[in-house]
Chains A and B, each alone.
Chain A
Amino acid sequence: MADQTTNSAQVAEADKGYWQANVRIILVSLVIWALVSFGFGILLRPMLSGISVGGTDLGFWFAQQGSILVFLGLIFFYAWRMNKLDAEYGVDEE
């Protein structure tokens, strides 16, 4: 926790750790983001063509429905995870 007794070098060190943790979460999220849209929705669609969904295949479903649902999940996950991280590193606004 960054209270008055902590010196500024330690704060800077903690901030660095916070930022690295944040970048890691962003990278993982972006891999999922790309996988469901560019991956399942477009490039990997031929590989998913065996899985049929209502008259078409899973790739079509991801392109028109699934990717959007995953995007939603990702943003809320990130907001929740970052609020936790803010508290862990004591960098939240309060």
Chain B
Amino acid sequence: MDQFTINLLFVGASFAVYIGIAIWARAGSTSEFYAAGRGVHPVTNGMATAADWMSAASFISMAGLIAFTGYDNSSFLMGWTGGYVLLALLLAPYLRKFGKFTVSEFIGDRFYSPTARIVAVICLIVASVTYVIGQMTGVGVAFGRFLEVSNTTGLLIGACVVFAYAVFGGMKGVTYTQVAQYCVLITAYTIPAIFISLQLTGNPIPALGLFGDAAGTTEPLLTKLDAIVSELGFAEYTAHHSDTLNMVLFTLSLMIGTAGLPHVIMRFFTVPKVSDARWSAGWALVFIALLYLTAPAVGAMARLNITDMMWPNGGIDGGAVKVEQIDNDARYDWMATWQKTGLLDWEDKNGDGKIQYYNDKSEKMQELAAEKGWVGNELTKFNRDILVLANPEIANLPGWVIGLVAAGGLAAALSTAAGLLLAISSAVSHDLIKGSINPAISEKGELLAARIAMAVAIVVATYLGLNPPGFAAQTVALAFGLAAASIFPALMMGIFSKKINNVGAVAGMLAGLIVTLVYIFLHKGWLFIPDTNSFTDADPLLGPIKSTSFGAVGAAVNFGVAYLVAGMTKETPQEIKDLVESVRIPRGAAAATADH
């Protein structure tokens, strides 16, 4: 059986399971559509949250970004897990106690202002659509590889599948489907990592293998990696090269953004009790940590394997890989397969029949190249987003592992895209239309509006996904920045400060959102349209602060503006102060009603 058939078999089987579950648990009423009737156990909820949360960015993209940068991209690891601490301590229990369905309902009620609710909906839509663009990038890579078509065709096919899938079921369908998806994606992520860790270090646990010795030697794996990449003129893997301030702000943006993302927060509305909301965040992080503790090992080991493949005879002295070997040796078949997607390419520029892979920007390497007759790096294209999917092929693992990884990558992209589309559609139909524009809308009308909103969101995201503002994880990081700057501060102030009034909250959210959005557009192009940017992240507007790190600054602006404006305007009324008091105390949560 050839690899294509195996991939098709794995992907087809996993899809059959998800769709089967979705039909079995199909949503009936609107309240089931949004929040699954509050009947979800913390462990189940944690697992579903993990699947919902770990998207194409975590599964497909992140390890690749770590692999090619090393320590400096640790921000992704700390940022995307540390946010759960904020969520568990500062938001989840109180929002559950409040007892409504959506984030914007809380903001509308707490700040006793329909305007605040609409502003929250807008912030939520902006962040979620940006997030979906990142997902579509990943969907394109995964579908392109598994159907062996170009990235663009893969993206278009993927968009249709995501849409059909999201329309199928509501949250309940999605909750149990996501448990299945979590199982598929975590198996798909860890099995190749275990194989590779055994090959390279002899330790079956990748997280331990990363800090162990290279197999058959007494040299630590990371020391070996540092030596190999430095020899080729790249930055040392374990060293800190990037700007420290930017790294801190980037990590903080991802953390705050995690706690401000509506599709994750929504999860904590669906647990039965306040104490369950606290445990749920912990369980979610347990399931997420399984992948996040493995990802740095995947990155480092893949980097080592790729470098070894390009210099198969023991570093520069042994000579580069021959073109003939890439064409004929079965171990190099993955290169031809990935070349088809347009995300990997090489060119024998100096015609010596070999492909030299090195950092042609390093001065030391330029001297060496002149001496050796090289005319530049010949591995001309290696898209970071392909690394995880290509990893088992690079390590020459059995065909079924490759099929499993294809199924896992699709599960990751699909589950998050579906969760986000659900958040967007509920924001539009429930908060915007039912909540403000037409409160008399029928249940049927609301569901229809939800589905139209989904369709519009996916068309926009697919169009922008064709020319994404960055690799999947980078685009997703922008979405986190937006959520960090707009939603999180409003929620936190709503719970922890009675002082913040309606005007303050609205001013804060708008200031945070606008300043962050403008900063991102200045660097990534207006509405992410390529070539309309005035600055680049290599040389940002404000000192070292890249557009991906600006969310933390936006959040500070939000807090500052809200306090200033609230101080100058009319005090919060007593009944709202009482509402805040009641949200802080778990007592009586079981009796909380959701007027729907």
A sample of 24 inter-chain contacts (CB < 8 A) reads A15-B581, A29-B85, A30-B85, A38-B251, A41-B74, A42-B248, A43-B244, A54-B213, A55-B211, A55-B224, A56-B222, A60-B222, A63-B74, A67-B78, A67-B82, A69-B293, A71-B81, A74-B85, A75-B278, A76-B282, A83-B275, A86-B586, A91-B586, A92-B275
A79 touches B279 (CB 8 A): yes
Residues of A contacting B81 in the complex (Cβ-Cβ under 8 angstroms): 67-68, 71
Q: Which residues of B contact A (CB under 8 A)?
A: 71, 74, 77-78, 81-82, 84-86, 88-90, 93, 207, 210-213, 219-224, 226, 238, 240, 244, 247-248, 251-252, 255, 273-275, 278-279, 281-282, 285-286, 289, 292-293, 296, 496, 581, 584-590
B275 touches A63 (CB 8 A): no
Let me know if A72 is at the binding interface, CB within 8 A: yes
Residues of A contacting B588 in the complex (Cβ-Cβ under 8 angstroms): 93
| Sample of 6 more A-B contacts, CB < 8 Å, known A18-B585, A30-B85, A71-B81 | A41-B78, A63-B77, A68-B293, A71-B84, A93-B273, A93-B588
Q: For chain A, residues 8 to 57, give those with C-beta under 8 angstroms from any C-beta of chain B.
A: 15, 18-19, 22-23, 26, 29-30, 33, 37-38, 41-43, 45, 53-57
A54 touches B222 (CB 8 A): yes
Give A60-94 as 1s and 0s: 1 = Cβ < 8 Å from B's Cβ atoms: 11011101110110111011001100100011110
A93 touches B248 (CB 8 A): no
Shortest CB distance A19–B (Å): 5
A-B pairs, top 5 by smallest CB distance, nearest first, are: A55-B220, A54-B211, A55-B222, A63-B74, A79-B278
Specify which of A22, A30, A60 lies most central, judged by the most chain B CB atoms within 10 Å of its CB. A60
Residues of B contacting A33 in the complex (Cβ-Cβ under 8 angstroms): 82, 85-86
Shortest CB distance B204–A (Å): 16
B71 touches A63 (CB 8 A): yes
Shortest CB distance B507–A (Å): 26
Shortest CB distance B31–A (Å): 21
B74 touches A64 (CB 8 A): yes
Q: How far is the CA of A29 from the CA of B226 in the complex (A)?
A: 35
A68 touches B223 (CB 8 A): no
Residues of B contacting A18 in the complex (Cβ-Cβ under 8 angstroms): 585
Q: Of the candidates A30, A38, A93, which one forms a contact with B586 in the assembled complex, judged by CB atoms under 8 Å apart? A: A93
Specify which of A19, A43, A64, A75 lies most central, judged by the most chain B CB atoms within 10 Å of its CB. A64
A43 touches B88 (CB 8 A): no
Q: Of the candidates B226, B251, B293, which one forms a contact with A65 in the assembled complex, judged by CB atoms under 8 Å apart? A: B293
A75 touches B88 (CB 8 A): yes
Q: Quick one: given A26-B90, A86-B275, are A91 and B587 in contact (CB under 8 Å)? A: yes
Shortest CB distance B289–A (Å): 5
Residues of B contacting A86 in the complex (Cβ-Cβ under 8 angstroms): 275, 586
B84 touches A75 (CB 8 A): yes
Residues of B contacting A63 in the complex (Cβ-Cβ under 8 angstroms): 71, 74, 77-78
B82 touches A55 (CB 8 A): no
- Residue of B with least CB distance to A30: B89
Q: Which residues of A contact B (CB under 8 A)?
A: 2, 15, 18-19, 22-23, 26, 29-30, 33, 37-38, 41-43, 45, 53-57, 60-61, 63-65, 67-69, 71-72, 74-76, 78-79, 82-83, 86, 90-93
Q: How far is the CA of A69 from the CA of B82 in the complex (A)?
A: 10
B278 touches A82 (CB 8 A): yes
A55 touches B223 (CB 8 A): yes
Specify which of B84, B88, B93, B293 lies most central, judged by the most chain A CB atoms within 10 Å of its CB. B88
Q: Quick one: given A75-B84, A93-B588, are A83 and B278 in contact (CB under 8 Å)? A: yes
Q: How far is the CA of A68 from the CA of B85 in the complex (A)?
A: 10
B285 touches A75 (CB 8 A): yes
**A-side binding surface: helix, strand, loop or mixed?**
helix
Residues of B contacting A61 in the complex (Cβ-Cβ under 8 angstroms): 211
B590 touches A93 (CB 8 A): yes
B585 touches A65 (CB 8 A): no
Shortest CB distance A51–B (Å): 13
Residues of B contacting A69 in the complex (Cβ-Cβ under 8 angstroms): 289, 293
Shortest CB distance B441–A (Å): 33
Q: Of the candidates B88, B220, B226, which one forms a contact with A79 in the assembled complex, judged by CB atoms under 8 Å apart? A: B88
- Residue of B with least CB distance to A37: B78
B296 touches A65 (CB 8 A): yes
B248 touches A43 (CB 8 A): yes
- Residue of B with least CB distance to A22: B584
Q: How far is the CA of A48 from the CA of B27 in the complex (A)?
A: 53
Residues of A contacting B78 in the complex (Cβ-Cβ under 8 angstroms): 37, 41, 63, 67-68
B212 touches A54 (CB 8 A): yes
A71 touches B82 (CB 8 A): yes
A72 touches B275 (CB 8 A): no
A19 touches B238 (CB 8 A): no
A42 touches B244 (CB 8 A): yes
A72 touches B74 (CB 8 A): no
Q: How far is the CA of A68 from the CA of B286 in the complex (A)?
A: 10
Q: How far is the CA of A3 from the CA of B163 in the complex (A)?
A: 53
Shortest CB distance A21–B (Å): 12
Q: How far is the CA of A83 from the CA of B74 in the complex (A)?
A: 33
Q: How far is the CA of A86 from the CA of B585 in the complex (A)?
A: 9
Residues of B contacting A43 in the complex (Cβ-Cβ under 8 angstroms): 244, 248
Shortest CB distance A59–B (Å): 8
- Residue of B with least CB distance to A23: B496
A42 touches B251 (CB 8 A): yes
Q: How far is the CA of A42 from the CA of B255 in the complex (A)?
A: 15
B585 touches A91 (CB 8 A): yes
A64 touches B589 (CB 8 A): no
Shortest CB distance B246–A (Å): 11
Residues of A contacting B247 in the complex (Cβ-Cβ under 8 angstroms): 42
B82 touches A93 (CB 8 A): no
